[in-house]
Amino acid sequence: MAQHLVMVAAQLEADDLDAALAHAETAVRRAGRVPAAREALGMVAYRRGDFARALTEFRTARRLSGSSHLLPLMVDCERGLGRSARALDLAASPEAAGLGEEERMELAIVVSGVRRDLGQNDAALLALQIPALRRGPRAGLHRLHYAYADILLDLGREDEAREWFLMAATEDTEQETDAVERLEDLDGIVVMDLGGEEEDDQPDAAGHPPEPTE
């Protein structure tokens, strides 16, 4: 079972969701009462956009383990199923108070997304104003800072948004977000691929320059 779980992680990293699903389902068949197996199957279903199945597996993993660390993903599954009210209720449940800092940040990002889905942009901004937001640039905060910049931009606060996108870009060493591209858009920088033009400028087989174009 452990080998299948290792393969699930490897196939998810390779973005081979079909292979990851096969390994996860095998792990659950062999050890259905092991929380890690149910969590792995839930993660694969989540990545595939099968939010109903993912939610079922996450609930089972939580029941078996007694841990609520999957709560942000469960809230996002409710969001993916179009059940905004249920998502917000789950996010406000007593279990949320016991989450670690990383999970609290993820939960804030998801809740902010739910509020944006509802057209409540001011509430979406407020949802992100958790203690971790004001700690300055540091590793692990880029997704939170990116989400904050994005909603600021929606609210028309472009200068503030640029500051937060810059912070996210500095922190995001693995380039998980497109913060750099968002900054370029705000600064009016257009990156052009000149590869085709360079090829057109090459001489032909006889060494003659290309004909001028009109």
The domains of the chain are located at 1-67
DSSP string, 138-153: -TT-HHHHHHHHHHHH
Q: Output Rg (C-alpha) for the chain, integer angstroms.
A: 23
Counted residue by residue, the chain has a size of: 214
- What kind of architecture, by CATH, is found in domain 1-67? Alpha Horseshoe (1.25)
Question: pLDDT of the chain along its 214 residues, tens only?
Answer: 899 999 999 999 999 999 999 999 999 999 999 999 999 999 999 999 999 999 999 999 999 999 999 999 999 999 999 999 999 999 999 999 899 999 999 999 999 999 999 999 999 999 999 999 988 777 789 999 999 999 999 999 999 999 999 999 999 989 999 999 999 999 887 656 555 554 455 555 445 555 554 4
DSSP string, 191-205: ----HHHHHHTS--T
- pLDDT for res 131: 93
Q: What is the C-alpha to C-alpha distance for residues 96 and 88, in angstroms, rounded to an integer?
A: 11
- pTM, entire model: 0.84
What are the contacts of 19-24 at 24+ separation with CB within 8 A?
Answer: 20/44, 20/47, 21/45, 21/48
